[in-house]
Amino acid sequence: MPGIAGPFKTSRGDHLRRTGVRPGIVAPKNELEIFCSLCVGCVYYRDENRTLYFVDSPDLSISDIIDQVFRGLNQTPSIQQLYMDEHNLFSAARCVQIGAAQRKALFPAFTLIGIHITNSLGS
């Protein structure tokens, strides 16, 4: 269907490219692939071990969001810094293990803020 600026595109991929959002991570084999695929504004949730992987930036601190949500649940998150090397010289992503109740509170908060969530099971 043509529009004022050309044809209307309704596919999700076209929308993501126009808005500058990278598509989700596709079936990473290990944590290193998760690290290399993460970007600011995206999180990856691995169902197998209930772990949420993310990166922080000065403009968007996902750690702060997690802290605020956990504070609302009267809990304290145990966020871990992960490294790309065995000597812990090169910081990679961060991760936190979350339960079902924490996930139910965190995911809507991420969605409202505009953070893209990729789930290992695709849901």
Tens of pLDDT, residues 42-76: 999 999 999 999 999 888 999 999 999 999 999 99
Sketch the domain layout of the chain as residue ranges.
Answer: 27-119
Of 94 and 36, the one with more pLDDT = 94
84: enclosing H helix or E strand = none
pTM for the predicted model, two decimal places: 0.75
Q: Looking at domain 27-119, does it have CATH number 3.30.70?
A: yes
Two tokens, residue 78: 């145990």
Closest-CA residue to 34 (of 88, 67, 66, 82): 82
Integer angstrom CA distances of residue 118 from 62, 82, 90, 95:
15, 19, 24, 14
| pLDDT exceeds cutoff 90 at 38 | no
User: What percentage of the chain reaches a pLDDT higher than 70?
Assistant: 75
